[in-house]
Amino acid sequence: MGTALLYDEEMTKYKLLWVDPACKIEVPERLIVSYEALVRSGLSDRCISIPAREASDSEILLVHSELYLEAVKKTPYMTLEDLKEFTLQFGDVYFHPNIYHCAKLASGSALQLVDSVMTGKVRNGIALVRPPGHHSMHGAANGFCVFNNVAIAARYAKQKYGVKRVLIVDWDIHHGQGVQYCFEDDPSVLYFSWHRYEHQNFWPNLRESDYDSVGKESGAGFNINVPWNNVGMENSDYLSVFCHVLLPVAYEFCPDLVLVCAGFDSAIGDPEGEMCATPDIFAHLTHLLMNLAGGKLCAVLEGGYNLTSLAQSVCQTVQTLLGDPLPQLANLRGPCKSAVESLQCARSAHRRYWSFLKHAADPPMTDISTKHIKSAMEEEEKTEMAEEERCTEGKVWPEPPERLCPPVCSASVLPDDVACPDGLKRLSSSKDLEPLLVSKLKNRFRTAAVDGDRVTTFSRLYTLIEKLVANEIRNGLVLVPDVAAAMMCVVQDLTSDLVKRVLVVCVGKEKELDYVTTDGKVLVVQISSEDREEQRSKYYIPVCLKKGCSDTSGFIQAVLGLLLPLGYEYNPDLVLLVRMPGSGVVDSMWQQLIGLLQGFAKGHTLVLMQVNEKACMGSTASALLGHPAPPLQDLQTPFPEDGDALERLRERLQADWKTLQTTS
Ligand SMILES: NCCCNCCCCCC(=O)CS
Ligand SMILES: [Zn+2]
């Protein structure tokens, strides 16, 4: 299934008609450059174009009051003076004779997107709209927003498709207070927002934007705010919050639909955000949400005022929605102190509501919400500085890397008598081994004549890895007689000269893992029921689950809270996913793991399985081909000892691995 793209140039046909410094950044060019970038890059042609439509009155009234709607209806007929007058009753927003029409198109586009996804016409999609929506409230326009596009879409999805749980992820740099107000007592809509806050010194300066606004009454726990109290947040900060706050809760919530308030003013160069995250981060944020809700994801444009980073970020998002390989994120260095404080506060505020956050630490000693007094004075000094001096002084960043699709997505190396799963390309021609390699294998296995089929297997493995590294294929599946031996061979013989860093994810326990690397060329994360604490080192990290890999709750917690951060920090060139026989890992969990691992090494994942486990080749192939993993149904509360052990393991490892840091 494809990716929907909604865009209508009508939504570029309104603009600010008078002088208002607060609103001058919201210009029609925002939409024009975004769409043109998609066209120029060829991405728009790969999408399924869905027409925009006007939202009806009843759809708008799902969120807004009749009084407000009737008032806005009058704006097309107002004189310039009347429009100015009308605008004064709201904050940081402007009206225009054509904005009511565009606001209906913006909301209607979001609804068209929901229809396309919920009817299965497309898998996911994005609506490029203006005016944005997440600041508008029941009875008021605000922050460039007229109708709350995403809030209307959430209510519409519930009403028309009986969607039980909607996750709204707001990665815009402003707090979508309109969305928070709309759903704060509603447990069927989980609203997550991070936003520039600076201890309430940043617009919209609301006390209720802080981390302790967790929702009300039956909605308690279903509103997550992560305030950024400093500017300059980077890719590491964003990824840490996803791994340690949003994703654990999102997986436990298990939504039927994901809506994204896709604002790109959180990207580098934006005058509003003043953050430093690069456009390629949105490729990963999108990817990390795409295995939820069976891949049903609707992204709706909110903010984004630097036309260059906006266009690049939109392209990065669309490319991921289309399933293209992810870019490698370079030199992640762990979250900054302020980000750790914020995520620690958010985690501790929510630990009573979410079993996946149950073991979160107490809030930091320096309670960050009282800091706003002091920082107000700092704020005073800052405003003395010239405006342009303080904001984006010529931020520059590299063009996002090309994300080329290899000619073959998934290849397989199988014994001759095993059928190849649909969609996989069989590499049967095992080329003759270089004599060098044969001698290596011989002395490796110290047998005079390395037996025939083993040489065949390793020659095929070698062929596969060569093609992965050459980007001729994206990922691969290999069935071998002895998976542990094959793993050793791949790690020690086949990859040494081909790749710089291999991430080995070992699922289940194995007979002997009789080597531990210390040079950093290999990072082994082993998830099993075995407690190998004594063997742990920086590059060998055993995660012990009391009930083993069949405990999906413990497994996904270890993946989100440990494997993902580690993987991002380690930044491998190859991922080796080894499924030990008898691991007991549940199929949906196995597919989720393969899906999430695609975020590393441009998707170069090599799956090693034992021949006698060929029964799960089908689902492995499906995940390797990029089909969304099935949702993890009814997750139990993780075993306390596992949750505790994971928290302790993170604390012990965070000296070596900064992205594991969740406490300041
Ligand atoms: N009143 C002092 C300056 C306030 N600037 C307000 C900017 C509103 C931004 C809204 C937005 O970006 C939506 S995503
Ligand atoms: Zn914004």
> From atom 14 of ligand 1, which residue's Cα is the shortest distance away?
303
Residue 377's pLDDT is 54
d(CA 260, CA 170): 6
| 268, 309 Cβ separation under 8 angstroms | yes
Mean pLDDT of the chain: 91
Question: CA dihedral defined by 245, 251, 255, 260, rounded to 10 degrees?
Answer: 40
| 593, 616 Cβ separation under 8 angstroms | no
**Token pair belonging to 252:** 């436990």
- CA 174 / ligand 1 centre spacing (Å): 8
**CB 302 near ligand 1, within 6 Å:** yes
- CA 301 / ligand 2 centre spacing (Å): 10
**CB 92 near ligand 1, within 6 Å:** yes
Prior bond to 131 cis, omega within 30? yes
**Token pair belonging to 358:** 């149950």
Instruction: Say what percent of the chain tops pLDDT 90.
Output: 79
d(CA 111, CA 108): 5
d(CA 664, CA 658): 11
d(CA 136, CA 147): 6
**CB 174 near ligand 1, within 6 Å:** yes
At 426-467, the pLDDT tens digits run: 986 555 555 666 666 656 554 444 566 667 767 778 878 889
CA-135 nearest atom, ligand 1: 13
CA-21 nearest atom, ligand 1: 3
3-state DSSP helix/strand/coil % of the chain, to nearest 5: 45, 15, 45
Asked if pLDDT for residue 167 goes beyond 50, the answer is: yes
- CA 263 / ligand 2 centre spacing (Å): 6
Beta strand 257-262 with 166-170 is parallel
Mutate which of 25, 144, 171, 270 to test ligand 1's pocket (most atoms within 8 Å of Cβ)? 144
d(CA 136, CA 130): 13
Residue 395's pLDDT is 85
- CA 150 / ligand 1 centre spacing (Å): 18
Q: Considering only CA atoms, which of 228, 210, 159, 211 is closest in space to residue 189?
A: 159
Task: List the catalytic residue out of 64, 134, 135, 350.
Answer: 135
> From atom 10 of ligand 1, which residue's Cα is the shortest distance away?
143
| 226, 237 Cβ separation under 8 angstroms | no
When pLDDT is cut at 50, 70 and 90, the band that residue 208 belongs to is: very high
Mean pLDDT value of segment 379-391: 47
Max mean pLDDT range (99-108, 325-334, 412-421, 431-440): 99-108
Q: Whose atoms come closest to the Cα of 90: which ligand? A: 1
When pLDDT is cut at 50, 70 and 90, the band that residue 509 belongs to is: confident
**Token pair belonging to 338:** 């302020």
**CB 252 near ligand 1, within 6 Å:** no
**CB 406 near ligand 1, within 6 Å:** no
At 548-567, the pLDDT tens digits run: 999 999 999 999 999 999 99
Q: Cα-flanking dihedrals φ and ψ of residue 163, to 5°?
A: -60, 130
Residue 142, SS3 per DSSP: strand
Residue 493's pLDDT is 73
> From atom 3 of ligand 1, which residue's Cα is the shortest distance away?
22
Mutate which of 203, 270, 310 to test ligand 1's pocket (most atoms within 8 Å of Cβ)? 203
**CB 270 near ligand 1, within 6 Å:** no
Asked if pLDDT for residue 328 goes beyond 50, the answer is: yes
Comparing 29-43, 75-89, 147-161, 394-408, the range with the smallest average pLDDT is 394-408
Q: Is 199 a catalytic residue?
A: no
The strand pairing partners of 261, in sequence order, are: 170, 300
Count Cβ neighbours within 10 Å for each residue of 232-254 and write b for 16 or more, e otherwise.
ebbbbbbbbbbbbbbbbbbbbbb
Q: Considering only CA atoms, which of 589, 366, 600 is closest in space to residue 474?
A: 600
The strand pairing partners of 410, in sequence order, are: 475
Asked if pLDDT for residue 3 goes beyond 70, the answer is: yes
At 128-146, the pLDDT tens digits run: 999 999 999 999 999 999 9
Which contacts of 408-411 are long-range, i.e. CB under 8 A and separated by 24 or more positions? Answer: 408/467, 408/472, 408/473, 408/474, 409/473, 409/474, 409/475, 409/624, 409/625, 409/626, 410/473, 410/474, 410/475, 410/476, 410/477, 410/621, 410/624, 410/625, 411/464, 411/467, 411/473, 411/475, 411/476, 411/477
Comparing 205-214, 261-270, 507-516, 518-527, the range with the smallest average pLDDT is 507-516
- 474-660 maps to CATH 2.160.10.10: no
Q: How far is CA 364 from CA 33, 164, 341, 472, in A?
A: 42, 35, 6, 48
- The CATH number assigned to the domain with range 2-390 reads 3.40.800.20
- CA 22 / ligand 1 centre spacing (Å): 6
| Residue showing tokens 């969120």 | 63
Mean pLDDT value of segment 525-549: 90
| 543, 646 Cβ separation under 8 angstroms | yes
d(CA 364, CA 398): 35
Asked if pLDDT for residue 366 goes beyond 80, the answer is: no
Mutate which of 88, 135, 202, 309 to test ligand 1's pocket (most atoms within 8 Å of Cβ)? 135
All CATH 3.40.800.20 domain ranges of the chain, comma separated, are 2-390, 474-660
- CA 304 / ligand 2 centre spacing (Å): 6
Asked if pLDDT for residue 306 goes beyond 90, the answer is: yes
CA-173 nearest atom, ligand 1: 14
The strand pairing partners of 167, in sequence order, are: 190, 258
When pLDDT is cut at 50, 70 and 90, the band that residue 384 belongs to is: very low
Beta strand 574-579 with 502-507 is parallel
At 28-81, the pLDDT tens digits run: 999 999 999 999 999 999 999 999 999 999 999 999 999 999 999 999 999 999
**CB 8 near ligand 1, within 6 Å:** no
Instruction: Say what percent of the chain tops pLDDT 70.
Output: 90
At 88-101, the pLDDT tens digits run: 999 999 999 999 99
**Token pair belonging to 584:** 């007991």
> From atom 8 of ligand 1, which residue's Cα is the shortest distance away?
143
Which amino acid type is present at position 583?
S
Max mean pLDDT range (488-492, 498-502, 607-611): 607-611
Residue 367's pLDDT is 62
- CA 167 / ligand 2 centre spacing (Å): 19
433 vs 610, more confident: 610
Asked if pLDDT for residue 489 goes beyond 60, the answer is: yes
Asked if pLDDT for residue 527 goes beyond 50, the answer is: yes
**CB 143 near ligand 1, within 6 Å:** yes
**CB 26 near ligand 1, within 6 Å:** no
When pLDDT is cut at 50, 70 and 90, the band that residue 385 belongs to is: very low
Cβ within 8 Å of residue 67, ≥6 positions away: 139
392 vs 660, more confident: 660
CA-174 nearest atom, ligand 1: 14
